[in-house]
Amino acid sequence: MHSGLHGRGALFDTDPPGLVARLVGLCPFQHGPTPLEYAKEPPFVVFTGGPGLGKSAVLGELRAAYEGHTPLALIDCEDELFARPPARRPPEAWSPVSQAVLTIAEQLAEPVAGAGRIAFPRLTAGLLAVAAGGWGDRDLPRIRQEAERILLLNDTGSWVAGFTGRWVGRVSTRLVDALSGAGSVVEPVIEATLEVFSEGVTPTHRRLRKAATWYRDCPSAGGSPKLGLILLSGHFRAGGDSRTHAERYLVRALLADLDDAYAGAVQRTHRPGRPVVLVDNVQATAGVGLIGPVLRDRADGIADRVAFFAGLRGDGHPSLHNAARRALPEVAHATGWKPGDTVSSRALLVPLPPPAAPSPQAVEGGR
């Protein structure tokens, strides 16, 4: 364990397994399987405390413990990446939350030991619909760049070498061609996206078709994927509560795609343990906008497979008013956590005490 993490055995111990191993299902660093404390819904763990208590260090150690062995993403919600739209991107087609789900998906997609890349076709369709709301200026170089980045979320790494690049280039060209007419660009782009997703007979194309139909279940979509995506784009551009509603669907799309990667006995055999998402400075806009949809969907019975760990500056947050709280030693062997009837009860706050000073033996052993 990193020298700044002495006294964190309740989190990282392996025999008996500490909190991290019990929620992820893999021993940190050793990667042997560990029985899950919660087979269905784990708590969304939030480490709390003031500056200097090691919240970021704990999340960094979590990344080091599992990176390359289970799908993993780490974002810092106070990073400049989430502060403002990229150059020339209209604010009505971007938010800290949309940037967060894109960034998280790009990291989760990376191959791990024994398993290939993960594709995110539902999220791709949703992000393209949102991005199209900012393509009215027909800034073609920017549009092509944005589209290609989103389309790369469908790369499973299993296609013939070079095929992914050609497919992304071909699809982005189709999307750009859809902008040739006058008027609104959102509907033509969505139509082109659905057409491209419906073509082909390979397993990849079947996955794309399944993803496109997912949006027909959006409220007021009437069973139409096209209308569902148009509504998603419109709600996002509207801002306020409407945007929050759209962001919830983007988060749900991310988690539904991730769930597909674990569906079936064969996939689970190649992917032991849970995927891990680490969210530092969750009190920032991107973090609040991410944790809210996860907790609300879990409260509504929409399950996901992710082990979430977050760092929160301070002792709490209004959005986590009903979260359970456990001292660090209390989670060493079992959390005793059970969700209540409220959304925020799906979270578990763990205040971090100051890191313990290493023992003389540990210092001597590290020399």
User: Six-digit token pair at 115?
Assistant: 């398993």
> How would residue 2 be classed by pLDDT, with cut points 50, 70 and 90?
very low
Rounded to whole angstroms, the Cα distance separating 211 from 236 reads: 20
Crossing angle for the helix pair 186-197 and 121-132, nearest 10 degrees?
Answer: 160
pLDDT for the residue 7:
78
Nearest residue to 79 (alpha-carbon basis) of 282, 294, 317: 282
99 shares its domain with 133: yes
> How would residue 268 be classed by pLDDT, with cut points 50, 70 and 90?
low
- Of 244, 271, 298, the domain-final residue: 271
> What's this model's pTM, rounded to 2 decimal places?
0.93
Q: Tell me how far CA of residue 355 lies from CA of 48, 214, 257, 270, in angstroms.
A: 13, 46, 37, 36
Within-domain flag for 28: yes
Within-domain flag for 41: yes
Rounded to whole angstroms, the Cα distance separating 224 from 215 reads: 7
Within-domain flag for 80: no
- Of 245, 271, 297, the domain-final residue: 271
pLDDT in tens, 130-146: 999 999 999 999 999 99
In the predicted model, is pLDDT for residue 162 greater than 90? no
pLDDT for the residue 269:
63
pLDDT for the residue 362:
46
12 shares its domain with 143: no
46 shares its domain with 106: no
181 shares its domain with 325: no
201 shares its domain with 147: yes
5 shares its domain with 118: no
User: Six-digit token pair at 159?
Assistant: 């296609």
Q: Among 65-79, 120-134, 195-209, 345-359, which stretch is predicted with the lowest mean pLDDT?
A: 195-209
DSSP state string for 323-361: -EE--GGGGSS-------SSGGGGEEEEEPPPPPPPPHH
110 shares its domain with 259: yes
User: Six-digit token pair at 292?
Assistant: 């809210």
- Of 271, 304, 329, the domain-final residue: 271
Which residue did the predictor score with more confidence, 160 or 211? Answer: 211
Q: Is 215 in contact with 150 (CB distance < 8 Å)?
A: no
228 shares its domain with 322: no
User: What is residue 312's three-state secondary structure?
Assistant: strand
> How would residue 5 be classed by pLDDT, with cut points 50, 70 and 90?
low
> How would residue 314 be classed by pLDDT, with cut points 50, 70 and 90?
very high
Amino acid letter for position 298: R
183 shares its domain with 94: yes
Please compute the mean of the pLDDT values over residues 90-111 and round it to a whole number.
Answer: 97
45 shares its domain with 93: no
Cis amide bond preceding 360, omega within 30: no
Within-domain flag for 214: yes
Nearest residue to 120 (alpha-carbon basis) of 305, 285, 255: 255
In the predicted model, is pLDDT for residue 337 greater than 90? yes
Which residue did the predictor score with more confidence, 222 or 200? Answer: 222
> How would residue 105 be classed by pLDDT, with cut points 50, 70 and 90?
very high
User: What is residue 49's three-state secondary structure?
Assistant: strand
pLDDT for the residue 3:
44
Number of domains in the chain: 2
> How would residue 211 be classed by pLDDT, with cut points 50, 70 and 90?
confident
Within-domain flag for 78: no
- For the chain, how are helix, strand and coil distributed in percent, rounded to 5? 50, 10, 40
98 shares its domain with 146: yes
246 shares its domain with 288: no
Within-domain flag for 218: yes
Within-domain flag for 59: yes
Please compute the mean of the pLDDT values over residues 210-231 and round it to a whole number.
Answer: 93
Amino acid letter for position 20: V
Within-domain flag for 281: yes
Amino acid letter for position 203: P
Domain extent for 135:
86-271
Q: Tell me how far CA of residue 135 lies from CA of 146, 184, 226, 248, 360, in angstroms.
A: 10, 9, 18, 22, 61
Nearest residue to 150 (alpha-carbon basis) of 120, 174, 178: 120
